[in-house]
Structure 1
Amino acid sequence: MAKLKPQKLTGGVDSEGETMKPLTNPGVVMGTVGYESPEQVRGETVDHRSDLFSFGLILFEMLCGERAFHRETMAETMTAILKEDPPELSETNDKISPQLEKIVRRCLEKKPERRFHSAHDLGFALESLSASSTTSGKNLTTSRFSNYRRNCETEACKFANAFGRIRCC
């Protein structure tokens, strides 16, 4: 069985201390349309915060079942990523907690410096959310919707924590 070795797309130093050649170049737009950060769409140099934006897009889609910036054409989708805010999560799923929505929106900030600084910081925010929903969960009714909300948030937290562990290694 072949061994897979994770690679950092923006270049850097691998686990053996070897300098890695970047797999992407500034000015080259590369990625799946609809999951790119604004800086990727513009063909700018990207760093780990671009991954946090893309993660926010996946988290958004997991929570409401639709893409944050889906449009009819690739050009319209790319323009939406650059210029529009995603819909409020509560518009499509009113069971999403305001705290989780705030975390997702921070991932989807247009300016990289306004996003989480690291996957570790994002993981910490989600762990805090998970811990608070566990303690406050005793006060929730056991309706189908409250269970659904807790399950969404729990699964989102697990996914984010796995992402954080992978990216922080």
Structure 2
Amino acid sequence: MATDLIRYDLLVQDALRSVVRKVLADTARAGLIGDHHFKIAFKTQAPGVVVPSAVKSRFPDEMSIILQHEFWDLVVTQDAFEVNLNFSRKPERLIVPFDSITGFTDPSVPFGFKLEPRAPEPAAGRAPATAEIQESAPAPAKTASAKPPSGPAPAKSGQRAEKPAEPAGEAKVVSIDAFRKK
């Protein structure tokens, strides 16, 4: 079997991360549209992740957040997103680098995929596979408060920190394991 010098597996993962980046940047700018909402799983110990210590102690390896009813000040940059969520009725700021994300689901559609968290590359290593993708990615969104959906106020259950689960219903999950060398 030939050696994959292009690293298609990394290119596909970078493309999927840019989907998350674009969807969150659009949400930061205009708020959630329709019934769309997002469940994002990530590694809590990954470099650059900032979560409250009490939350990190409950979820020492991986956790999921839901951006639906109660989240504020969503900011999206090229490398990460920041958002305020309530944990035990206390607002906290989270910073989640896109490289730490292990799953993304929009249960309203349903749509979702899993990712492998990207390990930091050594300084003397090769150039990141995201160089071309990042150049064509949309500019980072400016700070904006997400708007709650119109209509009656929903119950305060929007932010749930939970262990990642499989997407509900008939979600289409994209796995790149088939492309990985074994």
Do Structure 1 and Structure 2 share a fold, with TM-score over 0.5? no
Structure having the larger proportion of residues in strand: 2
Structure with the largest fraction of helix = 1
**TM interval, short-chain normalised:** under 0.3
State TM-score, norm by structure 1.
Answer: 0.25
